[in-house]
Structure 1
Amino acid sequence: MTHPGWGDKWAGAPQFTAQPARRSGSELLERAPELPDGAPARPPRRREPFWNGRRRRALRIVLWAAVVALLLLAVTVGWAAVDALRARAALSDAAAGVTALREDVLAGDTDGLEARLSGIQEDARRAHDATRGPHWSVARELPGTGPTAEAIATMSEVVDELARGALPDLARSAELVDPGTFAPRDGRIDLEPLRKVAPDVVRADRSVELAAERVGRLDGAMLPQVTAAVAELRAQIDGLRSTTATAARAADVLPPLLGAEGPRDYLVLVQNPAEPRALGGIAGTVLLLRAVDGTVTLADQLPGGTLGPYDEPVLPLTPDERSVLGAGGEVGRWMQNVTMTPDFPRTAELARTMWMRETGQRVDGVLTTDPVTLAALLRGTGPVEIAEGRRVAPDELADYLLHDVYFEHEEPRAQDMIFAHVAKQAFDRLSDPREGGEADMIAALAESARQGRLLVWSSDDAVNRRLAGTVLDGSLTGVRGDSPVVGVFTQGINMAKIAYYLDTEVDVAVVAERRDGSRELDVTVTYTSRVPEGGAGVMPEYFVGYGEKNPGEIRLRSLVYAPAGGWVAGAYSGDQEIGLTPKKQGEFSVASRDIELSPGATVSVTYAMITGKRQSGDIILRVTPGPRPADITISDDLLGRAE
């Protein structure tokens, strides 16, 4: 019997019955039919083994499966490629929005931030959605397309996370960090908005830092377009990080600096770059500021020349400091000379000790500024009163304080009185700036800091750690991250203000890369005298220097510091090699050369320098800020490679 569901095919199938008894081989032979005489015996029919047929069928299945897999793979890669184009377009739109958002935040323009942020979030969401799905999981694992797919997907994830996290935090911060919000009013800065914004900016900075780490890990053989996109996103994130890091540091350090945790006293060294020192110029005027819960007052001020000289340095000097900065220990014996060292924390320690010796007061920090910064801060505030009936526009103030005052008043005491009068006016105006001028003031401070004219040191190590690596730091460091730091500093030898006419130009060129990861640099330092021919004869002796053999000649010492782990290998001027006496200041290799400039003359020296190992980052250059900004060029174009 059969089951009805088996169909007709099975209808005639025999029933299983008992098998007959087996016959022997001889019996079977007896029953076989006989063949005609002479006919060949018919070989038995060979049947193909069952397993061989199965193998051919299996092979056909495998081949078809491979064809299907290849087709699916091609479809997957093509699908991912189409999505990649969509993601790239969305990422490009988001990047443009991030740039605009950052510019608005820096400018304090908060009106359109919400709409701009919404657009960035939509672009980031499109990019993120385009790089999701099983086809992307496959594409990210393939040997050929894996690095490219991984990069596109990671970039989409990073931008989407920033759009949903760090950027909203930054936008909320911008609403509170309007320059007008933190402008002093009647000498007081309201710290409460800063306390409110601190969690947002710190969280935003951490998010951007993590994003930078993720994008920084992208590597492998990617398509050129994707490689370029990764580099662009890294640059975008680096720019964003500079904003969030600055905001996070400000939120962290400003309240304690401004006396939120108790009164704080600070020395302000007002440098005079017409008489150069490594950090800028002699400390011509010293101010004492007191900060209490955001209220800042001018507590005292003294001419720098009244603090010292002392018979011995106020702090022990190292043999290296005496060798590089002067065997007589000048850096530690006059307040005017504490800026001879390019290491600002050392300057701060010396100045703080001198003030303590003179007044018995221990200050909580030291800052620097100069007339160029004061003039920039006062721009747009109206003329500054110099004396009764004598007023100077802010745009002319720096030139007046660095040059004209010495021609109008030859007595140092009269000059000091004018400096003090101007400092008081500047402080009063900055304590209560004009309405709408806050953004200009912030921009002036930022530019001064970038030029090295504004430095900050605190007796609180936690504050110094937050300032480390910023333009406000001023520490003598030969490397930041993987970036080599080159120092080019100027010390005036004349006891005069003739260096008002000194221009400085520095050109740094990478000429070779070495196998150990170090680089060969040519650092060309050019000094030019702008002293007019024959003009020195009509200049006051105080300005050109007492007892100068060649009045109008600028005499200076050029100090060039190699990066950490590197050294100065030699120097030449034109085609002529110059002998150098190697010196060290701590761990740093230093080249020192005295230069004399007659009126209108130019002297150029090129220093051959080797950086430390594994310093592949962008070159950082520190230069002494003069009466005018130095002309700086940094080139990474290789002219040759070491064998």
Structure 2
Amino acid sequence: MTDSQHARHTNNKKKRNTTLLGLLAVAVVALAGLGIFTFTQLASAKGDIDGAATNASGLQTALESGDQPAAARSLTSLQTNIGSADSTLGSFVFSAASKLPVLGKNVDAVRTVTSSLKQVADTGLPPLVDIADQFNGKTFNPQGGAINVDAIAGIGPNVAKAGKVITAASGEVDRINTSALMGSLQGPVKDVQDKLSHASEISKRATTASEVVPQMLSGKHTYLLLFQNNAEIRATGGLPGAYAVLNIDNGKIKLGEQGSGGSMGSLDYDATDISDEETELFDTKLVTDFRDINFTPDFPRAASIGAEIIKREKNIDVDGVLSLDPVTLSYVLKGLGPVTLADGTTLTADNAVDVLLNGVYVAYPDLRDGGAAQDAFFASATKQIFDKVLSGEGDPNALLKALTRATNERRVQVWDKSSEISTLLSGTAVAGELPVDKAAKSTLGFYLNDATGAKMQYYLDYDVEAKASKCTDAGAQTYSTVTTLRSTAPADSATLPESIRGPGFGAPAGSMLMNVYVYAPNGGKVTDVTIDKEEVATFPGTHEGRGVRLVTVQINPGQTVTVEATVVSGKDQRGDARVLATPGIKPGTKGSVVKSAC
């Protein structure tokens, strides 16, 4: 190479380097500018989303109070803020960023959230705002002993339309894998998932209620109302210790005959056929004693047996069965206010559980009258609360929230003979069904039945924990479960009235004796059951395709007992699992979600 060629080569190289440096500088400046632009856009979107959250809160308040003008204003502001955030995140900058290897999924997640919320704001919420003056507790609240059936039916189409949009949006957001997002996004996105899921569930319930309630209240119907006594625990809640008949006539509701479950005990016939599975798990008392119809955790089955018994024993042909417990009444009394009973006792939200599940047996311990004084007390409580509700007293929104809370805790259950109504109710919390087949693929069950005839579960505190520890290639999961049962009974429980401590069969007076049922998912089984780490005799069985293990547990005053069991699911059950358990006297839900091990 000559000197001149070398010089030209060196100069060209310098020029290329200079050009590259210049381009790099431009790129750096551009990227810096893009970063600043992106940051400001993100900040703007965040401000819009924060504003939307405030609007949503105001909208909820307006809907609950039935303030339609305020609801409309909040909705307009909400649509503006969400629309602005969605427009920002839909720009070319974020569209390009969504294609980047790592950042992309985070951008996609945020864009999915805002677009889904925009759909809810633009399409899902307007139908609710249109009926804001009707979409609240006042619509469902009785006035003068009657419920406005037409008003409830009238909100149905709007509620259903809103529900479809909200449920679709919830499905979109639920598909986001939050665990794959950057830490700062996981919490907010999960919060949106939870809120939309909750809104979807509420909208489904409201849609069902707007369809079912008018059918149950239109025309003439007779319903059996059961009061489950949690102090003597049963799989669905408690002993059906008292009942009342509700007579319906085109929205008008009247309280009819009242009585005790004990008046239909120890029958000399089977109210219905009973399967071999049921006989082995629950004994024939399931169909021969009204007080034991809910040994089964399947409320529709229990209700149908109860309907047959009351038809034969009391000559009352019912169209359906409704059930609730004293904990539900305590929630209702928060919105209703105190009620005074025939004997001068005042029931309040704070004392209802104690009085109805324990105090009445202390106040009226003498059983020589066959429990007539106790029955009269319960009848008075039923009438006074019922009359006050039907008169329209109390805060209607508070009453609706009370029933919603009780339903979430599976304390309110409804069964109807009508196949159309039962189909609408199926799958809802209020149906109280034992999940079977596909519905049981992701469900663990833990149910309790008293085995002594005592009211000692007033002193019972229990909890259920479950954890998925293994997943096979076939998608079968293994769960480790712990049921902790604690007696808070006083040391001198044996001196309590017999109606509390029980007749003393099966266990010492003052101690609890319970049958604990552990249910596997569909096609699964329960193994390795221990009490306080010790192997014990258990009874293996099946119920509607689900493996079951029954173990009897004694708990003395002040004692804590743990029942541990290994549960194995059927194949191809890779998702998260639900835990369903018998509701006790402690407020709060007895259900949880177990994260999948797959």
Cα separation, partners in 2 of 1:617 and 1:103, compared to 1, 3 Å: farther
Partner AA of 1:244 in structure 2:
S
Listed as ranges, the gaps of 5+ residues in structure 1 are 1-62
Kindly state the Cα deviation for residue 483 of structure 1 after the two structures are TM-superposed: 7.6
Partner AA of 1:595 in structure 2:
V
1:612-631 aligned at under 5 Å gives the runs 612-615=570-573, 617-629=575-587
Q: Is the 1:269–1:368 contact (alpha carbons within 8 Å) kept by the matching residues of 2?
A: yes
Partner AA of 1:382 in structure 2:
P
**1:239-291 CA distance string (max 9 Å, x none):** 221232222222221111222xx222111111222222111222111211122
Cα separation, partners in 2 of 1:180 and 1:483, compared to 1, 3 Å: farther
Based on CA coordinates, which of the two structures has the bigger radius of gyration? 1
Q: Is the 2:452–2:513 contact (alpha carbons within 8 Å) kept by the matching residues of 1?
A: yes
Residue in structure 2 matching 1:155, options 98, 106, 113: 113
Residue 288 of structure 2 aligns with which residue?
Answer: 333
1:560-639 aligned at under 5 Å gives the runs 560-615=518-573, 617-629=575-587
Q: How far apart, in 1, do the equivalents of 2:106 and 2:33 lie?
A: 14
Residue 157 of structure 2 aligns with which residue?
Answer: 199
**1:363-418 CA distance string (max 9 Å, x none):** 2211111233224323453342242x555555333322322322333131222222
**1:416 partnered with 2:416:** no
Kindly state the Cα deviation for residue 444 of structure 1 after the two structures are TM-superposed: 2.1
Partner AA of 2:83 in structure 1:
R
Residue in structure 1 matching 2:85, options 123, 127, 133: 127
Residue in structure 1 matching 2:392, options 429, 433, 451: 433
**1:604-631 CA distance string (max 9 Å, x none):** 1111222344545554222222333478
**1:305 partnered with 2:268:** no
Q: Secondary structure at the match of 2:154?
A: helix
Kindly state the Cα deviation for residue 299 of structure 1 after the two structures are TM-superposed: 2.3
**1:544 partnered with 2:544:** no
Kindly state the Cα deviation for residue 179 of structure 1 after the two structures are TM-superposed: 1.6
Residue in structure 2 matching 1:460, options 418, 432, 435: 418
Q: Percent identity?
A: 27
Partner AA of 2:280 in structure 1:
S
Residue 250 of structure 1 aligns with which residue?
Answer: 209
Q: How far apart, in 1, do the equivalents of 2:593 and 2:121 lie?
A: 35
Residue 382 of structure 1 aligns with which residue?
Answer: 338
Partner AA of 1:301 in structure 2:
Q
**1:508 partnered with 2:444:** no
Kindly state the Cα deviation for residue 592 of structure 1 after the two structures are TM-superposed: 1.0
1:92-241 aligned at under 5 Å gives the runs 92-95=50-53, 97-98=55-56, 101-102=59-60, 105=63, 112-132=70-90, 147=105, 150-217=108-175, 230-241=189-200
Partner AA of 1:563 in structure 2:
P
Deviates more, 1:283-292 or 1:200-209: 283-292
Q: Is the 1:517–1:614 contact (alpha carbons within 8 Å) kept by the matching residues of 2?
A: yes
Q: Is the 1:179–1:439 contact (alpha carbons within 8 Å) kept by the matching residues of 2?
A: yes
Q: How far apart, in 1, do the equivalents of 2:338 and 2:202 lie?
A: 31
Q: Secondary structure at the match of 1:296?
A: strand
Kindly state the Cα deviation for residue 324 of structure 1 after the two structures are TM-superposed: 0.6
Residue 429 of structure 2 aligns with which residue?
Answer: 471
**1:50-71 CA distance string (max 9 Å, x none):** xxxxxxxxxxxxx99xx99x98
Q: How far apart, in 1, do the equivalents of 2:438 and 2:511 lie?
A: 38
Q: Is the 2:483–2:562 contact (alpha carbons within 8 Å) kept by the matching residues of 1?
A: yes
Q: Is the 1:570–1:580 contact (alpha carbons within 8 Å) kept by the matching residues of 2?
A: no
Residue 349 of structure 1 aligns with which residue?
Answer: 304
Q: Is the 2:580–2:591 contact (alpha carbons within 8 Å) kept by the matching residues of 1?
A: no
Partner AA of 2:327 in structure 1:
V
Kindly state the Cα deviation for residue 330 of structure 1 after the two structures are TM-superposed: 0.2
Kindly state the Cα deviation for residue 229 of structure 1 after the two structures are TM-superposed: 5.4
**1:538-579 CA distance string (max 9 Å, x none):** x23333223547221222111121222322121223443344
* TM-score, length basis structure 2: 0.84
Q: Secondary structure at the match of 1:273?
A: strand
Q: How far apart, in 1, do the equivalents of 2:481 and 2:390 lie?
A: 42
Partner AA of 1:287 in structure 2:
A
Q: How far apart, in 2, do the equivalents of 1:533 and 1:281 lie?
A: 24
Partner AA of 2:555 in structure 1:
L
**1:494 partnered with 2:452:** yes
Residue in structure 1 matching 2:318, options 363, 384, 389: 363
Partner AA of 1:522 in structure 2:
S
Deviates more, 1:240-249 or 1:588-597: 240-249
Cα separation, partners in 2 of 1:149 and 1:80, compared to 1, 3 Å: farther
Cα separation, partners in 2 of 1:408 and 1:119, compared to 1, 3 Å: same
Q: Is the 1:87–1:156 contact (alpha carbons within 8 Å) kept by the matching residues of 2?
A: no
Kindly state the Cα deviation for residue 235 of structure 1 after the two structures are TM-superposed: 2.6
CA-atom RMSD in angstroms: 3.5
Kindly state the Cα deviation for residue 505 of structure 1 after the two structures are TM-superposed: 2.4
Residue in structure 2 matching 1:407, options 362, 366, 369: 362
Cα separation, partners in 2 of 1:492 and 1:224, compared to 1, 3 Å: closer
Q: How far apart, in 2, do the equivalents of 1:202 and 1:133 lie?
A: 33
Residue 483 of structure 2 aligns with which residue?
Answer: 525
- What is the number of residues matched between the two proteins? 569
Q: Is the 1:510–1:636 contact (alpha carbons within 8 Å) kept by the matching residues of 2?
A: yes
Deviates more, 1:417-426 or 1:611-620: 611-620
Q: Is the 1:507–1:633 contact (alpha carbons within 8 Å) kept by the matching residues of 2?
A: no
Cα separation, partners in 2 of 1:445 and 1:83, compared to 1, 3 Å: same
Q: How far apart, in 2, do the equivalents of 1:228 and 1:530 lie?
A: 38
Deviates more, 1:187-196 or 1:231-240: 231-240
Q: Secondary structure at the match of 1:401?
A: helix
Q: Secondary structure at the match of 2:583?
A: coil
Cα separation, partners in 2 of 1:237 and 1:76, compared to 1, 3 Å: farther
Deviates more, 1:374-383 or 1:188-197: 374-383
Residue 42 of structure 1 aligns with which residue?
Answer: none
* TM-score, length basis structure 1: 0.79
Q: How far apart, in 1, do the equivalents of 2:170 and 2:222 lie?
A: 38
Q: Secondary structure at the match of 2:140?
A: coil
Deviates more, 1:335-344 or 1:139-148: 139-148
Q: Is the 1:345–1:457 contact (alpha carbons within 8 Å) kept by the matching residues of 2?
A: yes
Cα separation, partners in 2 of 1:87 and 1:390, compared to 1, 3 Å: closer
